[in-house]
Amino acid sequence: MKQGNNALNVRETIQKFQSYIALVVIFIIGSIICVKNGRNTFLSITNIMNLLRAVSETGIIAIGMTMIVLLGDIDLSVGSVVGLVSTGCAALMMHNDLEFVPTVLICLCMGAAYGLFNGFVVTRMKIQAFVVTLASMNIARGLARLWSGGAGIPLSYGDAPGLAPPAFEVLSKRVGGVVPVPAIIFLVLLSIFWFVMSKTRFGRQIYAVGGNATAAHLSGINVKNVKMIAFMLSGLLASIAGMIHSAQIFQGGPNEGMSYEMYAVAAVAIGGTSMAGGKGTMFGTLVGALIFGMLDNIMGLKGLNSNVQLVAKGFLIILSVFLQAVKKDD
Amino acid sequence: MSRLLRMEGIGKSFGQVRALNNVSLELDGGEVLALMGENGAGKSTLMNILCGALVRYEGQVYIDDKPVQIGNPVVARSLGIAKIHQELQMAKEMSIAENMFMGREKCNWLGLVDKKAQEEEAKKWLSMLELDLNPHRPLKSLRVGEQQMVEIAKAISLKARILILDEPTSAISKQETEQLFRVIRRLASEGVGIIYITHRMEEVFEIADRLEVLRDGEYIGTVNAKQTDRDHIISMMVGREIKDMYPKEAVPIGDEVLRVEHLYLNTPQGSSSRPLHDISFTLRKGEVRGLAGLLGAGRSEVFECLFGVHPALTSGDIYIEGQKVTIKSPRDAIDHGLSFATEDRKGKGLVLLRSIGENMSLPLLKKFTKGVVMNTGAEKVEWDRQMEAMRIKAPGTGTLAGTLSGGNQQKVVLGRWLITRPKILLLDEPTRGIDVGAKAEIYQLINNLAAQGIGIIVVSSELPEIIGISDRILTLCEGKITGEFMRGDATQEKLLSAATLREEASA
């Protein structure tokens, strides 16, 4: 009897921390198998920093997605918003000769407005978020193509007209030549939203609405506004990712950010957030994003065919959500 | 003669919790056995073992004196065991016939579903239960009581010999209850053994032949219904005598705190809410007002209108402490000193995945905010105070609301609303699904709150309860007020006839 209880506790504990355990296990596996010519290609500072940079874009999107999924909704438009904003910021700087600050402000507003639009349709027209954002995903792509004429806009920096302001290039730099700026932005944003979710009224409201919208409404919480704000923040965060993205690849274009919504949802799900809403944390999403990024990184280092990688990542998502869902049967 | 069903030495543990210990149950064909016990006594666990929903249990089940191994619901069904669930488990969009033949559809030679044959057969079973329903109708168009009858018809059509009814009357009207009892008696006369689970004492003596009582997972005893009474059963259930269920105390009644004039609710066609017609009443400080009526009479709707749930559909004037107020949302209502503890605690009251404390803070998040951060210090003072005042049994305020028993969940809901220091408390079925001990605590609490000068309106389906705790009682029928009774003047018969006034007139 006693032993049985202990076994149960161990099982529960493992279940509770399984994403953290997975992160450590994958880290160890990566450290062991990625050795080339006597050098560990995985455990180098450069590689770890590359990994952080690689997860920062989808990680930033996943922050917003965590709030949306906690509400029991989903935002499929974020990848397209990345495309729209990357096109927009490139066009504004290269074609319209805007300075750094106005460009960034306009891009942020674009993302926020887009999210607000999603939120408005979801809450006021009472259409499911899945349908709304599936549709608005196409709208954003279409707008981006109209804006750029379908082609990508390469970024080149300089002070002369027709060149982008050099300040924007910071987004592609590394602090001290080591720590990527996007990774810093990601971690700062994550900390801010961890604080928002765990310490502020808005965080409480998100958990309450996601856990039981009727109870929240009857407790005087403005459910619609909470959802609207969450969608707005999701769009805003996607626009930040969009700007980082175009700085990283020195180009903005309507086809950028493809499937980013999938990676963001994956990070959220792997991080243990319930797709039904009400349960999950920002820290979980960080772990989820790192697991996903690490596997990506390891598979890349091992030179795995990119199509195989895609298949593997798809199965990973199913496996992780399955593991989260497994409950004691009785 | 062989026993239809015998369960011997049944035990079951969930983790550390021992849910059942050495419990026995015997049932003959043609007999109605009432299974009684407080919430958490183990009734549901025992029945879940019987209908195959729980595997791995201790003990042995015999059917017709032959040992059987019930491993899953399919085996249970093939043994003739059927359970009518508390929350009906049927597809609401599909027709009666489709629901009855789900999983065993009648097919023609092409392999296509033969709807006509199904509906004819369904009709046959329905008429056996004296039900005049078109089997083609979608289930969602039926009332809860009718849906339940359809589920019983389905069970009978599956040749069920042991029928388990889990709180079948909790959501149906008096007439439907009577019809249900006729059906139960008829099935019993045809040799079906019936296990009947309920909290309602009056019903038990009306329908049951024998009563089995469980307490804390233990078998307490079985008695013949004719040789016992209510008090004896309650003392078996709670392990002590409860002398006075309703300790009503005389409280000075103060000034008027709420006046409702000409309240109308205009629900659109096809809405599940009952329209309200010209509701007017007053409530005084320290007064407990009962709102009686059948399910669907519009009782909850009155509360919802007062609380700003249907702002676009509501008209009428509401005065609080003499001042006319406009309530367009629950937020407005809370700010005007109203509190509303809903009937459906899990569905509408609590965020089950969050802690007791967070649930209590919900209406006052703004008040508990300091700068941009939640002022957890000020919150915790209130949480601890309510935990103690409500006597919530939980390890701490961080315990998840979903892990609590029904009684404790209700106390969390009440604690939440008391933090708002309400002037008016609306309680919708405050003791529904709560065990006897917790009920007594809630009644005592209602007394205490009235003594503090809070005006309280209580909706309840249990007439003895509403008579026991109210100063004045309003009866509601089909969205209209049909009677008002003073304490001492109200009897169950008077309330019931007022609550069914319109139905009889229109019938």
Helix (H) or strand (E) holding B292: strand B288-293
Beta bridge partners of A108: none
Among residues A201, A245, A199, the alpha carbon closest in space to that of A219 is found at A201
Phi and psi (nearest 5°) for A292? -60, -45
- As a whole number, the mean pLDDT across chain B is 86
Rounded Cα–Cα distance for residues B212 and B223 (Å): 7
Rounded Cα–Cα distance for residues B323 and A83 (Å): 56
Tokens 């025992």, residue?
B46
Other beta carbons less than 10 A from residue A247's beta carbon: 24
For residue A211, the chain B residues in CB contact (below 8 A) are 351-354
Look at residue B244 and tell me whether its pLDDT is greater than 70: no
Among residues B195, B208, B186, B193, the alpha carbon closest in space to that of B127 is found at B186
Sheet of B323-325: strand order equals B276-284, B256-265, B314-320, B323-325
Say if CB A238 and CB A261 are below 8 A apart.
no
- pLDDT tens readout for residues A230-261: 999 999 999 999 999 999 999 999 999 998 99
pLDDT classification of A328: cutoffs 50, 70, 90:
very low
Tokens at A75, concatenated: 């935002």
First-to-last C-alpha distance (Å) of chain A: 16
Least Cα separation, residue A283 to chain B (angstroms): 17
pLDDT value for B101: 87
Which residue in chain B has the smallest CA separation from A216?
A: B362
> Rounded mean pLDDT of B460-480?
87
| Residue A186 DSSP label | H
Look at residue B502 and tell me whether its pLDDT is greater than 60: no
Tokens at B126, concatenated: 């329905």
> Rounded mean pLDDT of A53-73?
95
Phi and psi (nearest 5°) for A177? 75, 5
For residue A5, the chain B residues in CB contact (below 8 A) are 15-16
Say if CB B29 and CB B193 are below 8 A apart.
yes
| Residue A165 DSSP label | -
Other beta carbons less than 10 A from residue A98's beta carbon: 18
Beta bridge partners of B165: B84, B196
| Cα A140–Cα A119–Cα B416 angle in degrees, nearest 5 | 155
**8 Å CB contact of B54 and A330:** yes
Q: Give the lowest-confidence range in A65-69, B135-139, B351-355.
A: B135-139
| Residue ranges with strand state E in B389-437 | 424-428
> Rounded mean pLDDT of B311-334?
93
Cβ neighbors of A117 (< 8 A, separation 6 or more) are A136
pLDDT classification of A325: cutoffs 50, 70, 90:
low
Tokens at A119, concatenated: 């939120």
Amino acid at B241: E
**8 Å CB contact of B348 and A215:** yes
pLDDT value for A224: 95
Helix (H) or strand (E) holding B154: helix B144-157
Cβ–Cβ contact B330 with A under 8 A: yes
Cβ neighbors of A321 (< 8 A, separation 6 or more) are A269, A270, A275
Say if CB B121 and CB B128 are below 8 A apart.
no
pLDDT value for B297: 82
- As a whole number, the mean pLDDT across chain A is 89
Kindly tell me the burial class for residue A27, based on how many C-beta atoms sit within 10 Å of its own C-beta (0-12, 13-18, 19 or more): middle
Beta bridge partners of B264: B315
pLDDT value for A137: 95
- Of B295 and B207, the structure prediction assigns the larger pLDDT to B207
| Mutation site, B51, B272, B304, B365, interface A, largest A CB count within 10 A | B365
Is residue A39 classed as helix, strand or coil in its secondary structure?
strand
C-alpha distances (whole Å) from A17 to each of A23, A284, B392 are 10, 10, 30
For residue A201, the chain B residues in CB contact (below 8 A) are 365-366, 369, 374
Tokens 């506790």, residue?
A9
- pLDDT tens readout for residues B32-58: 999 988 766 788 889 989 988 888 889
Q: Give the lowest-confidence range in A88-97, A136-145, A219-228, B429-438.
A: B429-438
Other beta carbons less than 10 A from residue B429's beta carbon: 23
| Residue A74 DSSP label | -
**Percentage of the residues of chain B whose pLDDT score is greater than 90:** 39
pLDDT value for A4: 47
Beta-strand pair B256-265/B314-320: antiparallel
Rounded Cα–Cα distance for residues B128 and B100 (Å): 14
Counted residue by residue, chain A has a size of: 330
Say if CB A323 and CB A56 are below 8 A apart.
no
Among residues B422, B362, B350, the alpha carbon closest in space to that of B392 is found at B350
**Percentage of the residues of chain A whose pLDDT score is greater than 90:** 58
Give alpha helix (H) positions in chain A.
2-16, 18-33, 45-70, 78-94, 100-124, 129-148, 181-199, 201-211, 213-218, 223-249, 260-270, 282-301, 306-325
Rounded Cα–Cα distance for residues B200 and A317 (Å): 49
| Residue B234 DSSP label | H
Contact map slice: A 163-222 vs B, CB within 8 A: 199-201, 204-205, 207-208, 211-212, 214-222
pLDDT value for B88: 65
> Rounded mean pLDDT of B498-507?
55
Look at residue B242 and tell me whether its pLDDT is greater than 70: no
Amino acid at A76: L
Tokens 């809903």, residue?
B342
Beta bridge partners of B193: B162
pLDDT classification of B86: cutoffs 50, 70, 90:
low
Among residues B136, B358, B82, the alpha carbon closest in space to that of A205 is found at B358
Rounded Cα–Cα distance for residues A209 and B129 (Å): 44
pLDDT value for B333: 95
> Rounded mean pLDDT of B85-112?
82
pLDDT classification of B228: cutoffs 50, 70, 90:
confident
Amino acid at A150: G
Q: What is the pTM of this model?
A: 0.80
Of B342, B354, B369, nearest to A201 by CB-CB distance is B369
| Cα B495–Cα B500–Cα B504 angle in degrees, nearest 5 | 140
| Residue B267 DSSP label | P
Rounded Cα–Cα distance for residues A278 and A204 (Å): 10
Other beta carbons less than 10 A from residue B255's beta carbon: 11
Counted residue by residue, chain B has a size of: 507
| Residue B289 DSSP label | E
Which residue in chain A has the smallest CA separation from B329?
A: A220
Q: Could you tell me the maximum CA-CA distance found in chain B, to the nearest angstrom? A: 77
For residue B18, the chain A residues in CB contact (below 8 A) are none
Tokens at B101, concatenated: 């033949």
Say if CB B210 and CB B179 are below 8 A apart.
no
For residue B351, the chain A residues in CB contact (below 8 A) are 207-208, 211-212, 215-216, 278
Look at residue B85 and tell me whether its pLDDT is greater than 80: no
Is residue B221 classed as helix, strand or coil in its secondary structure?
strand
Tokens 């009563």, residue?
B211
- Of B245 and B423, the structure prediction assigns the larger pLDDT to B423
Rounded Cα–Cα distance for residues B345 and B432 (Å): 10
Q: Given the cut 0.85, state whether the ipTM is greater than it.
A: no
pLDDT value for A232: 97
Contact map slice: B 407-466 vs A, CB within 8 A: 416
- Of A185 and B155, the structure prediction assigns the larger pLDDT to A185
Rounded Cα–Cα distance for residues B346 and A218 (Å): 13
Q: Give the lowest-confidence range in A120-129, A164-173, B10-19, B240-249.
A: B240-249
